[in-house]
Amino acid sequence: INAEYGILTCLPLSYYHFSVMDVIKNTFSGKKEESAAPDVVDVVGAVSGNDSLCSSLSFKQRIIGFICCTTIGILLSIAGGISLFFMQYTVFGVLYSIGNIVTVSGTLFLKGPKKQLKEMFEKTRIVATIVWMVTLVLTLVIAFTLQFPILIILFVIIQSLAFAWYSISYIPFAHKAILSC
């Protein structure tokens, strides 16, 4: 991306004198090296300085933390789905919601809490974020208090749709493509 003109340039990677791994590492570590490479750190959005949840961790350790949280979150959500087959609606709502929280928490290793929250409440994500958070809380409240299966399932469905809409907001033009179908 050419910052001076605001356009995408199609030059061979060899022109920039950097490796893809260096770009990925610098993107998530927040390091800015002087090179002819485009400023990918600012474009992608990475951890800068003390923004990271664990700024003392190496790049590899943060990636491992992200992968672990994401995997655990997905496994918790799957376990919740399995409990639905045994008509354990409270367990379903709790495990699914905690799975979502753990999955999103994984990004804190990459971006840090401040940047993650800032991005969650950007114009393109704010509605999905609020709907996701409200239905997540309502799912847990209903699961622990009323234990009303229909409401638990309804809030999990809304929570899933809001989380999916939030997630695809990170893919350029995905919202427009879906809305045009």
- In tens digits, the chain (181 residues) has pLDDT values of 444 444 444 444 444 444 555 656 665 555 554 444 443 343 344 555 446 567 788 889 999 999 999 999 999 999 999 999 999 999 999 999 999 999 999 988 988 889 999 999 999 999 999 999 999 999 999 999 999 999 999 999 999 999 999 999 989 889 889 989 8
d(C-alpha 171, C-alpha 23), whole Å:
19
Written as one string, the DSSP assignment of 71-97 is HHHHHHHHHHHHHHHTT-HHHHHHHHH
Q: CB of 77 within 8 A of CB of 96?
A: yes
- The burial class, CB within 10 Å (0-12 / 13-18 / 19+), for 160 is middle
Close Cβ partners of 83 (under 8 Å, ≥ 6 residues apart):
91, 92, 95
d(C-alpha 109, C-alpha 89), whole Å:
31
Nearest 5°: CA angle at 158, between 157 and 160? Answer: 65
Give the residue from 125, 130, 132 showing the smallest Cα distance to 170: 125
Q: pTM above the 0.85 mark?
A: no
Instruction: Please compute Rg for the chain using Cα positions.
Output: 20
Written as one string, the DSSP assignment of 94-106 is HHHHHHHHHHHHT
Q: CB of 73 within 8 A of CB of 103?
A: yes
